[in-house]
Each structure stands twice: as C-alpha cells, then as structure tokens.
Structure 1
Amino acid sequence: MDTANKNEPISSFDSAFPSLQDCPAAQRALDYYLKPGVSETQEHRFFDVNRNISGEEALVHACDLLRCAAATAHESANRLEGSSRDLAFSVVHMIDLVKAMLDRSLDSYPARQA
C-alpha cells in the first residue's frame, strides 16, 4: 500500500519557463549566495589598506583617524542644539571609547628603537 509522503515536494513543473542552468545572471546569483569565496575575491574596494604595513602602523593610523573624527564630531556637536546635540556627543563618546581600546592594544607592542 503506497502512502503519500508529506515531506515530498509537489512536482508541478511548468515547462513554459526556460531552464536557468544556462543563464549567466542566475549563475552569478547562485555563486554570490552559495559560494561566498567567489564573491569575496571579486570584491572591488574604493579604499584599501596597504598590505605592507605592520599591525602596529595600522593601529597608529587608526588612532589618528579616530582623533580627527572625534574633533569633527565634537565641533559639530557644539554647533547643534537639543537631541541632535546629544546624538553628536554620543558619537564623540563612542569614538573616544574606540580610541581608548586602540591605545590599549598599542600598549601591548614593544617599544620602538628610534
């Protein structure tokens, strides 16, 4: 006695739709979602980090960028009023927290010989 399997998909294939096997757009979409390594290698960045700099140099540069961002946010916050000012100062606070974490990570590097 045959019983219908409730987990089996209903096979009502409509032959009016063409096969997507040979469709380049479908293949790119499948590659993007199912093969993350393929899309990562083809990623083009507007800005990129020089791969020849050390971790310490990258952290120092990140600290400098955060200092500039904090100065910009602080100056903007001084020109605002109300909730916008509070939001701007919260950005300053978050930048200061990140900078403190970066400074702490730089402390783990040995002192440079000048």
Structure 2
Amino acid sequence: MTFPSNDLPDMHIDTSLTSPKGSAAAQRALDYYLKPVVSEEVAEARFFDVNRNISCEEALVHASDLMRCAAAIANESANNLHGAHRDLAFSAVHMIDMAKAMVDRCLEGDKNG
C-alpha cells in the first residue's frame, strides 16, 4: 500500500506582524460592528438635512427656488418628449407650479401680516 506524499512546502508563518490593537482601521471596524447605536437621531441619519438654524421664511424662499428649478427641468424635458411621456412630464410641471404657488403665497402672507 502506498501512502500519498505531502508535496506541500513547509509553510513559514510570519510572526513579525504587529498587533492590530491600536490601529485606527481596526478600531473603526470594531466600533461599526460592536458599538450599539447611541440614539435614534444617529440611527436616522439622513443624506440631506435642513439646517435647524434657518427661519421658516428662509426655508420657504429656498423651497420656492428649488421648485422653480425643478419646474424648468420638467418643462424642458416635456418639450423634448412625445405622447404619454410628454403628458406625464407636463403633469409634473403643473404639480411643481402649484406647490410653488402655495409656498409663494405663504411668503406673501408673512410679508403682509
């Protein structure tokens, strides 16, 4: 009976590597996987958030500007489409214009009142 030979070379294990203890990358990995979430606010982190220090009027002015830009994009898209796609794009323009009118009306009310 013939036994299979071990043709693998002797493996040399490099023990000169330093410990990952104290490594910033290791600490981030441990924190990510092992630390509990501290609060609900951290758990609900958003990609985009509104600065809490701006007034309602400033927020409405900015929202109005954003809707004006969105309406311009939707209108330009609608002009380059045909059929049902064109109708959908013009529907978006109309809804944006209505929302912008509501925001602008709120701003007028703040100035008048």
5 Å matches for 1:37-56? 39=40, 42-56=43-57
**Larger CA deviation: 87-96 vs 38-47:** 38-47
Distance 2:48 2:41 in 1: 15
How far is 1:109 from its partner?
1.0
Alpha-carbon distance in 2 for matches of 1:40, 1:98: 29
User: How big is the shift at 1:110?
Assistant: 2.8
Q: Deviations over 1:75-113 (max 9, x none)?
A: 0000000000000000000000000000111111136xx
Identical-pair percentage? 68
Q: Which runs of 4+ in 1 moved over 3 A?
A: 38-41
**Structure 1, unaligned stretches of length 5 or more?**
1-37
Quote the offset at 1:41 in angstroms: 5.7
Secondary structure of the structure 2 residue equivalent to 1:110: helix
Tell me: higher relative CO, structure 1 or 2? Use CA pairs within 8 A at least 6 residues apart: 2
Matched residues in 1 for 2:84 and 2:109: separation? 38
**Inter-partner Cα distance in structure 1 for 2:41 and 2:58:** 25
Q: Count matched residues.
A: 75
Matched, 1:110 2:111: yes
Q: Residue 71 of structure 2 corresponds to which residue in structure 1?
A: 70
Larger Rg: 2
Query: What's the TM-score once normalised by structure 2's chain length?
Result: 0.61
Unaligned runs of 5+ in 2: 1-38
Give deviations 1:34-89, integer Å, cap 9, x for gaps: xxxx7466201011111111000000000000000000000000000000000000
